[in-house]
């Protein structure tokens, strides 16, 4: 198995080892996860909520609908959270970015209100906002799908950094995992364990010579996300395109916004951005999906054969019992 552990830089890794942080280690011989536990320094104290300094505008097409869409992200008051806003028939529709509003996970994450008004493919923009620790924004859309751009979160990150952030008066709150929680479905598996930071590990295994087995672990920070995760694009297989389009999916997909593979090759003329771009994109999606908890989650996550459905099921299982988690304030 190809094992990649990505950290901010070598000094951060040395500090991590020196302080004996709890790391997930892949045991090749036993094919299971081992844990090394020790005392952790406090995650963060007195961290205030953040919003954007100014609004941001994005224009593009939806990956699955193929529709043109304009998206504006506005700063929002503290304790607002992430809220999608649409004007449908002169009526303002608000859909909060929360797992309870997920109505479909078929090839993307779709949120909907009780009247069927929806916004889909939310995972990439939510992933970028979550990684950059943005708590409060309003996202205006002229259509029902987020613009896909190049199939990654790179454009979102660039513009978020360009406008900058603004600290707010209220302190951040975090979901702290209190006990291990897991979900399984055939080969698919997801788990979160107590940890005083956000550590995410994932692995994939595709029967394709250019993918095969890949795995990655990251301690989530804005720096790691920008350098190692946000550029990884969504991907698909040429043999599946016709069937997807018959089902009104991937109608806006092309070589400019997705990696496409035939039986032997990557069809994109510039090839891959990383040799393991596939698993990095799965991790990007995972970050976007867990953001639907509504708060930054403190825990050590692991997923195998990940997908949107399993990611959301993990959140649902966590919040199924108050014994699994607690809401803590950074002050």
Mean pLDDT, rounded, of the chain: 87
pLDDT at 36 (0 to 100):
26
Integer Cα distance of 287 and 4 in angstroms:
18
pLDDT at 44 (0 to 100):
52
How does strand 68-75 pair with strand 181-185? Answer: unpaired
Q: Which fold has domain 2-46+173-329?
A: lpxc deacetylase, domain 1 (3.30.1700)
Is 33 an active-site residue? no
**Mean predicted confidence (pLDDT) in 90-96:** 96
Region(s) of the chain under CATH 3.30.1700.10: 2-46+173-329
More reliable by pLDDT, 193 or 36: 193
| Per-residue model confidence as pLDDT tens digits over 15-50 | 344 333 333 333 333 333 323 233 334 455 679 999
Instruction: Give, in order, the Cα–Cα distances in Å from 44 to each of 40, 52, 234.
Output: 11, 21, 32
Contacts of 28 (CB under 8 A, 6+ apart): 1
| Per-residue model confidence as pLDDT tens digits over 112-124 | 999 999 999 999 9
Stated pTM of the model: 0.86
Buried-exposed string 182-201: b where 16+ CB fall within 10 A, e elsewhere: ebeeeeebbbbbbbbbbbbb
Would you call 112 exposed, middle or buried from its count of C-beta atoms within 10 A (0-12, 13-18, 19+)?
middle
Helix then strand then coil, % of the chain, to nearest 5: 25, 40, 40
pLDDT at 2 (0 to 100):
38
**Mean predicted confidence (pLDDT) in 135-155:** 97
Asked whether 146 and 84 are in contact (CB, 8 A), the reply is no
Region(s) of the chain under CATH 3.30.230.20: 49-171
pLDDT at 243 (0 to 100):
83
More reliable by pLDDT, 325 or 330: 325
**Mean predicted confidence (pLDDT) in 273-281:** 97
Integer Cα distance of 319 and 77 in angstroms:
26
| 64, 124, 281, 308: the active-site residue | 308
Integer Cα distance of 135 and 90 in angstroms:
28
Q: Is the confidence at residue 3, as pLDDT, over 70?
A: no
Q: Is the confidence at residue 54, as pLDDT, over 80?
A: yes
| Neighbour count for residue 209 (Cβ, 10 Å) | 10
More reliable by pLDDT, 310 or 29: 310
Q: Is the confidence at residue 246, as pLDDT, over 70?
A: yes
Q: Is the confidence at residue 4, as pLDDT, over 60?
A: no
pLDDT at 82 (0 to 100):
98
pLDDT at 41 (0 to 100):
40
pLDDT at 242 (0 to 100):
78
Q: Is the confidence at residue 103, as pLDDT, over 50?
A: yes
Integer Cα distance of 194 and 174 in angstroms:
13
Q: Which two tokens stand for residue 115?
A: 């009247």
**Mean predicted confidence (pLDDT) in 96-115:** 96
Q: Which two tokens stand for residue 71?
A: 């998206």
Integer Cα distance of 225 and 208 in angstroms:
26
Superfamily name with CATH number, domain 49-171: lpxc deacetylase, domain 1 (3.30.230.20)
Q: What's the sign of the alpha-carbon dihedral 141, 144, 146, 149?
A: negative
Integer Cα distance of 96 and 106 in angstroms:
20
pLDDT at 331 (0 to 100):
80
Q: Is the confidence at residue 197, as pLDDT, over 50?
A: yes
pLDDT at 234 (0 to 100):
95
pLDDT at 34 (0 to 100):
28
């Amino acid at each position: 198995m190809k094992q990649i552990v990505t950290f901010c830089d070598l000094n951060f890794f040395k500090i991590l080892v020196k302080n004996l942080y709890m790391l997930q280690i892949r045991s090749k011989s036993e094919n299971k996860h081992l844990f090394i536990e020790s005392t952790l320094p406090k995650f963060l104290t007195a961290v205030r909520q953040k919003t954007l300094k100014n609004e941001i505008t994005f224009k593009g097409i939806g990956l699955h609908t193929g529709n043109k869409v304009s998206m504006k992200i506005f700063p929002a008051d503290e304790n607002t959270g992430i809220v999608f806003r649409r004007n449908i028939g002169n009526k303002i529709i608000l859909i909060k970015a929360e797992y309870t509003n997920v109505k479909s996970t078929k090839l993307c994450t779709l949120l909907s209100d009780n009247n069927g008004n929806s916004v889909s493919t939310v995972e990439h923009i939510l992933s970028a906002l979550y990684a950059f620790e943005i708590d409060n924004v309003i996202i205006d859309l002229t259509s029902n799908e987020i613009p896909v751009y190049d199939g990654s979160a790179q454009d979102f990150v660039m513009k978020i950094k360009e406008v900058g952030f603004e600290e707010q008066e209220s302190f951040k709150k975090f979901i702290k995992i209190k006990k291990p929680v897991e979900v399984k479905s055939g080969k698919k598996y997801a788990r979160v364990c107590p940890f005083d930071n956000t550590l995410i590990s994932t692995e994939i295994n595709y029967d394709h010579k250019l993918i095969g087995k890949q795995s990655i672990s990251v301690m989530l920070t804005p720096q790691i996300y920008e350098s190692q995760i946000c550029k990884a694009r969504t991907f698909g297989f040429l043999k599946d395109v016709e069937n997807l389009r018959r089902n009104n999916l991937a109608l806006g997909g092309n070589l400019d916004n997705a990696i496409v593979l035939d039986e032997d090759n990557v069809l994109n003329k510039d090839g891959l951005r990383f040799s393991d771009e596939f698993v990095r994109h799965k991790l990007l999606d995972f970050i976007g999906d867990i953001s639907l908890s509504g708060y930054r989650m403190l825990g050590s996550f692991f997923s195998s054969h990940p997908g949107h459905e399993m990611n959301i099921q993990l959140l649902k299982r966590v919040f199924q019992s108050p014994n699994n988690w607690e809401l803590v304030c950074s002050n």
